[in-house]
Amino acid sequence: MKIGIYPGTFDPITHGHTDIIRRSLRVFDKVVVAVAPNPSKHPLFTLTERLDMIRIVMKELEHVEVTHFDGLLVDFVQRFGAHAIIRGLRAISDFEHEFQMALMNRKIAKQVETVFLMPSEEYSYLSSTIIKDVATHGGALTAFLHPEIAHRLQERIRSLKS
């Protein structure tokens, strides 16, 4: 069984992430969405909240597991017996950072491959950061987020403003 690990911050999960997960399921028998706590990025949502939101969005999808990891990603990948790391590639701006990470991970664990997938064009400009900006300024979120995630994001921003 081919297992792919899709790591990220998912603060919060967007249709861009979901698009990558759906595409990964065409290549892998099972996809493990692995949330990194990433406190240095000062996430808007706690780790538990992010996991909970991903589980809501993934409810209908089979062969997807949602979990979290601490420490080195390659250690997690090897412990899990997975075959590859999955990353999404948007515009050229993602490339340099992703290239660096993939080569660093290969240096640490040479048998761990990284697979890059491109999202549908309509999501290729989408990031959790941009979505948080749009939400802060009261923009519509339904084209980018699952309705429950849009609701939670609006609530969180409202509570931060008050």
Closest CA to 108 of 81, 73, 83: 73
Active site annotation includes 41: yes
Among 5, 64, 88, 114, binds ligand ADP (CB under 6 A): 88
CB nearer to ligand ADP: give 4 or 119. Answer: 119
Helix ranges, the chain (H): 15-24, 47-57, 73-80, 92-108, 128-136, 147-161
What is the pairing mode between strands 84-88 and 113-117?
parallel
Cis (ω within 30 of 0) for the bond into 12? yes
Active site annotation includes 128: yes
Q: How far is the CB of 149 from ligand ADP (least distance, A)?
A: 13
Q: Is 52 in the site for ligand ADP (CB under 6 A)?
A: no
CB nearer to ligand ADP: give 38 or 78. Answer: 38
Helix (H), strand (E) counts: the chain = 6, 5
CA quadruple 93, 39, 115, 133: dihedral positive or negative? negative
Q: Is 87 in the site for ligand ADP (CB under 6 A)?
A: yes
Q: How far is the CB of 124 from ligand ADP (least distance, A)?
A: 6
Q: Which of 24, 83, 87, 128 is catalytic?
A: 128
Strand, coil or helix: what is 113? strand
Stretch that binds ligand ADP, among 55-63, 64-72, 122-130, 134-142 (CB under 6 A): 122-130
Q: Which residues bind ligand ADP (CB under 6 A)?
A: 8-10, 14, 16-17, 20, 38, 87-88, 90, 94, 119, 123, 126-128
